[in-house]
Amino acid sequence: MAKVCDITGKRPRVGNNVSHANNKTKRRFYPNLHKKTFYVPEEDAWITLKVSTKALKTINKKGISAVLKDAQNSGMIVIK
């Protein structure tokens, strides 16, 4: 299961753990993802998406239909 947001496309980033002695070891920064179910009234259907908290705020602001339309136009999500 990939740790990628279905709406924004956020992925894990790579960085370093830095110790007090300034030793650096690789680490990953994961996006804050949540599995959410949304109701789409135009299609009269429930859809489950893995979304970041930023995408969740966008959905609350614009609405699920507008966000899905934008994501489909940008190629992030394919709706059947």
* Residue (of 58, 55, 65) closest to 34 by Cα position: 55
Asked if the structure places residue 79 within a domain, the reply is: no
Asked if the structure places residue 57 within a domain, the reply is: yes
Say which CATH number the domain at 59 has.
Answer: 2.30.170.40
| 30-78 per-position pLDDT tens digit | 999 999 999 999 999 999 999 999 999 999 999 999 999 998 888 777 6
Instruction: Place 2 in a pLDDT band, splitting at 50, 70 and 90.
Output: confident
The amino acid at 1? M
48 lies in which domain range?
13-74
Domain count, the chain: 1
Would you state the pLDDT for residue 74?
Answer: 83
DSSP for 21-51 reads T--EEEEEE---EEEEEEEETTTTEEEEEEE
Distance CA 24, CA 50 (A): 32
> For residue 70, what are the contacts with CB-CB under 8 A and spacing of at least 6?
62
